[in-house]
Amino acid sequence: MRWMSDTWFRLRAIFAPGRMEREMDEEMAFHLEMEARKHVREGMTPEEAALRAHTDFGGVMREKERARDAWGIGLLQDLTSDVRLALRSLRRSPAFAVVVVLSLAVGIGANTALFTAIHAVWLAPVPGVRDQDRIVDLVPVVRGHEEWLWTYPDFENVRNSESPFESVAAWAERDATVGSEEGGMRARVAYVTSEYFQVLGARPTVGRGFLDSEDGAAGQHPVVVVSHHFWQDRMSGSPDVLGRSLTLDGVPYTVVGVAPERFGGARANSGRVDLWVPLSQHPGAAGNQRVLGNRERASVQVLGRLRPGATMSEAQAAVQTVFARLAAEFPQTNEYRTAKAAGFGRFPAQNRMADLIGVVGFCGLFAALLLIICANLAGMALARSAARGREIAVRLALGSSRARLVRHLMIEAVLLTLVGAGLGVVLALTAMARVSPVDLGIAAPGATFEPSGWAFALCLLLSFAAAQLFGLLPALRFSRPELVTGLKDEAGGGGRSVGRFQRYAASCQTGAAFGLLLMAALFLRSLERANPSRLGFDPAGMGVADFGAGGSFPALLDLSQEGYPSLDERRAVLLDQLLESVASIPGVASVSLSDGFPLDRRRSYLSVRAADRPSAEATDVRVDRTLVTEGYFTTIGTPVLQGRAILRSDDRAAPPVAVITRSLADRLWPGQDPLGRQLTRPGAEDPTTWTVVGVVGDVASSSAAETLPHVFLPLRQSDRPDLTIVLRSRADPAALTGPVREALRMVNPRVPVPTLLPAKSLVARATQEQRTSGRVSGLLGLLVLLLSAIGVHGVVALVVTYRTREIAVRIALGATRGVVIRGVLRDGLRMAGPGLLAGGLLAAGTAAAMRSMLLGLSPVDPVSFLSAGVLLLFVVVTSSLGPALRASGIQPMEALRNG
């Protein structure tokens, strides 16, 4: 009770001195007035009365001074002298101060960097979007699985029914060719309904958005809204942009608006949209039987904007009501379909849980680092205050209050923390200014790390907590009198109980260092697995054409947009011409056309089953599907194990054939010859069956982490319009960009020009996560290793100091140097032991949870464990060696005399 009112008083005296002063003046004035009134009542004149009152009071100013002393404003003076004292005592131990400041700089700097990164890619609002909290991501759910796309009719049903939404918008994104004088260029185009800009709160700043009427008849509304960056970069930001013409896939469009600056579409983290056109312009909008208007083909993503006051659960209930009705009305398509409402953010709702786990994991790691640093520093501060025992005892004896002493130690801690935190923040921001989230593979182009107030606030909080952690513990020890008296016979104090806290701290650190090093070792080892023999293809010399604008993954060429809409003779001729002209480039060893390539992040799935089994027995296998022409396996360097590859003759006149991977063959026909067997798709919509003509080795699929069973079908037998060029070169494939462009121009000058990407860069991109994680945990591990070396050294040295007498007695009794050294080392190892065990278990657990990132490496990989363990033991032994040697050099006579 007392301390509360007291603290309150002091705080007011420090933070609101003006107010206290005013209140005091008022109180005095009141007193004088009442006194004067009394005198007047007793018959004085008002003047006399006032004078008398003043005299009685004895000088208002003097009384105010006296009262002010009672406020305890002297605290402020105490504080300055404490700070001065702290600075002086720190100057006397510069090594301690430097280690503390640097450790805290590392800990707080690392955390600031992490917060900034998390904020930039996870928490920051989607750029250019207003009132984000009212936007709802509507996630389609099919048979309990969250999917990405809605069918357009479902969207229309939801849009047209009663709901808590102000408006609902649908859109589809694809790459398209934008025509200009110097040739085609691929751009990211969002095909949107008229409500799109309203839902996202991103009305065009110049011109207009789309009108309701532009949702109408397919292909009748060639209008385009350009993004701010497209306007600046490709149209030189000219003010008379409205009304200008752009060709999109060969069709002229009129520019009607410019989107707000920074606005790059709804999916900020997966790619920036360059252009927006009405959804009615989508290639799938034409001929009502195509994508839109079809309840079987999911094609659009859907967002809604809530009415003010409406809630997410109302939205979800409303949408699910519509879906329940549709399920009854269209059982064959909608029976298992529904949708759920999720908050809109930088990450699409579908991935959020996995992302969250990753973020929380990293936060935990960094927070652990800071905790370890604090434990380390607390240990050091304790050891230091133990060494200052005499000084402190003297100060106590001279009447320094215990509270004052604690305050002094706390002020030291706060000073060091402030300097350390400042340094850490500066370091972190300098470092973050040099990297971009795009380099780290955690965000789409256009994202930057911006320092946020949020990160600063957290940083401040952390610093405060750190100061408490490492300042308060040692300080509190001295507020316990029995410990202070214990200081008197410190030299006689014995063995194990010494520095119990430091021992725990050092043990925790070694554990954490072990855990982190282990993680690093696991990631680095898993990178080794990304070598050609494991990937199943040979990236050296292989190149893939990117027909896009250099986005986060290579874009495909869409033949239907280049005047080859169907699987006809003209398209077949084009394919031949493309293959021929590229193959004739000097340096090209082989070339193939395909709609994908190994490590392509876009994956096409297919469910297949063996056609020769009764359907009750047959199991559906979800496989990756790639359409390829002849020469594909030679080009990517995957061996044909059985049968043949896809050939030129596998065209639309020939029977459908398939080449499957080893693992798929083993799944479908274990122990049998797969050649000549039939594959089919479950669900009778498409009755095609393919005859298996060949088996190839397993190939890495969309990520380096897994090899899904894979089926390769002839490109010439499919009406899918997407394709890219895959080639194998005798030299650097990137150098072939020019010749390939030239070759394509010879075939068809209207085709957009590609850039050749070396397959090695695809591998690098696919293993980015492992490399980043390996680097981060390796760096953290080394830091913690250094810190724990300091910690272990400190504790062992402390123990040796405390045990000087005991060791001296032992030496006097005949213990050899070797025995003493072994004893001290054993002590150090015993201290590290529990930490090692815990750290190892923790790391193995984490690794098991992140198994998918290990590219098939076992989470308890013996090589990783052994190397991390040996490194750590080495560090523990070397850091205890110094004190051990010192112990062995103790001269018994001297030590016992001095003790």
Partner 1 sequence: MGKRKPEMVKGSLDMLILKVLSLEPTHGWGISERVRQISRDELRVNQGSLYASLHKLTREGWIRSEWRVTGNNRRARYYALTRAGKKQLGVEQDHWARLAAAVESILALA
Give min distance, CB of 807 to partner 1, in A: 53
Report the relative pairing of strands 298-306 and 135-142 from DSSP bridges.
antiparallel
Helix (H, G, I), strand (E, B) or coil at 150: strand
Q: Interface with partner 1 includes 19 (CB under 8 A)?
A: no
**Between 2 and 143, CB nearer to partner 1:** 2
What does the DSSP assignment read for 758-798? EHHHHHHHHTHHHHHHHHHHHHHHHHHHHHHHHHHHHHHHH
**Between 34 and 819, CB nearer to partner 1:** 34
- Alpha carbon separation from 75 to 3, 10, 14, 174, 399 (Å, rounded): 15, 8, 9, 68, 17
What does the DSSP assignment read for 68-99? HHHHTTHHHHHHHHHHHHHHHHHHH-HHHHHH
Q: Interface with partner 1 includes 17 (CB under 8 A)?
A: no
Select the residue interacting with partner 1 from 11, 21, 22, 30 (CB under 8 A): 30
Give min distance, CB of 38 to partner 1, in A: 8
DSSP 718: -
Select the residue interacting with partner 1 from 6, 329, 528, 732 (CB under 8 A): 6
Beta bridge partners, 143, equal none
Q: Interface with partner 1 includes 9 (CB under 8 A)?
A: yes
**Between 12 and 760, CB nearer to partner 1:** 12
**Between 27 and 329, CB nearer to partner 1:** 27
* Amino acid letter, residue 565: P
Q: Interface with partner 1 includes 336 (CB under 8 A)?
A: no
Q: Interface with partner 1 includes 5 (CB under 8 A)?
A: yes
Which range, of 26-34, 314-322, 373-381, 735-743, touches partner 1 by CB under 8 A? 26-34
Give min distance, CB of 436 to partner 1, in A: 56
Select the residue interacting with partner 1 from 15, 21, 22, 34 (CB under 8 A): 34
Give min distance, CB of 9 to partner 1, in A: 5
* Amino acid letter, residue 209: G
Residues 6 or more apart from 451 whose CB is under 8 A from it? 116, 429, 432
Which range, of 30-38, 225-233, 318-326, 847-855, touches partner 1 by CB under 8 A? 30-38
Number of residues that bind partner 1 (CB under 8 A): 29
132 alpha-carbon distance from chain centroid: 21
Q: Interface with partner 1 includes 35 (CB under 8 A)?
A: yes
Mutual angle of helices 500-528 and 862-888, in 10-degree steps:
150
Taking the chain, what is the end-to-end CA distance rounded to the nearest angstrom? 46
Give min distance, CB of 402 to partner 1, in A: 20
**Between 12 and 290, CB nearer to partner 1:** 12
Give min distance, CB of 1 to partner 1, in A: 5
Select the residue interacting with partner 1 from 21, 25, 48, 56 (CB under 8 A): 56
- Counting Cα atoms < 13 Å in the Cβ hemisphere of 229 gives 12
Stretch 61-100: interaction string toward partner 1, x if CB under 8 A: -xx--xx-xxxx----------------------------
Select the residue interacting with partner 1 from 58, 252, 492, 639 (CB under 8 A): 58
Give min distance, CB of 824 to partner 1, in A: 53
| Closest-CA residue to 833 (of 801, 794, 869, 885) | 869
Which range, of 2-10, 182-190, 439-447, 466-474, touches partner 1 by CB under 8 A? 2-10
**Between 27 and 335, CB nearer to partner 1:** 27
Structure-token pair, residue 465 = 């907590």
Give min distance, CB of 110 to partner 1, in A: 43
| Closest-CA residue to 276 (of 194, 331, 399, 218) | 194
Q: Are 824 and 811 in contact (CB under 8 A)?
A: no
Residues 6 or more apart from 583 whose CB is under 8 A from it? 590, 591
The CA distance from 417 to 525, in Å, is 37
Give min distance, CB of 25 to partner 1, in A: 11
DSSP 310: -
Q: How many CB atoms lie within 10 A of CB 564?
A: 19
**Between 65 and 742, CB nearer to partner 1:** 65
**Between 26 and 732, CB nearer to partner 1:** 26
Which range, of 33-41, 485-493, 571-579, 715-723, touches partner 1 by CB under 8 A? 33-41
Q: Interface with partner 1 includes 33 (CB under 8 A)?
A: yes
Q: Are 881 and 822 in contact (CB under 8 A)?
A: no
Give min distance, CB of 40 to partner 1, in A: 13
Which range, of 5-13, 207-215, 577-585, 658-666, touches partner 1 by CB under 8 A? 5-13
Q: Interface with partner 1 includes 27 (CB under 8 A)?
A: yes
How buried is 665 (Cβ within 10 angstroms: 0-12 exposed, 13-18 middle, 19+ buried)? buried
Give min distance, CB of 36 to partner 1, in A: 11
Select the residue interacting with partner 1 from 4, 95, 403, 813 (CB under 8 A): 4
* Amino acid letter, residue 888: S
Q: Interface with partner 1 includes 439 (CB under 8 A)?
A: no
Q: Interface with partner 1 includes 262 (CB under 8 A)?
A: no
The CA distance from 111 to 462, in Å, is 9
Helix (H, G, I), strand (E, B) or coil at 394: helix
Which range, of 54-62, 398-406, 541-549, 826-834, touches partner 1 by CB under 8 A? 54-62
Q: Are 546 and 755 in contact (CB under 8 A)?
A: yes
**Count of residues making up the chain:** 899
| Closest-CA residue to 535 (of 844, 765, 773, 867) | 765
Binding site for partner 1 (CB under 8 A): 1-2, 4-6, 9, 23-24, 26-28, 30-31, 33-35, 38, 56-59, 62-63, 66-67, 69-72
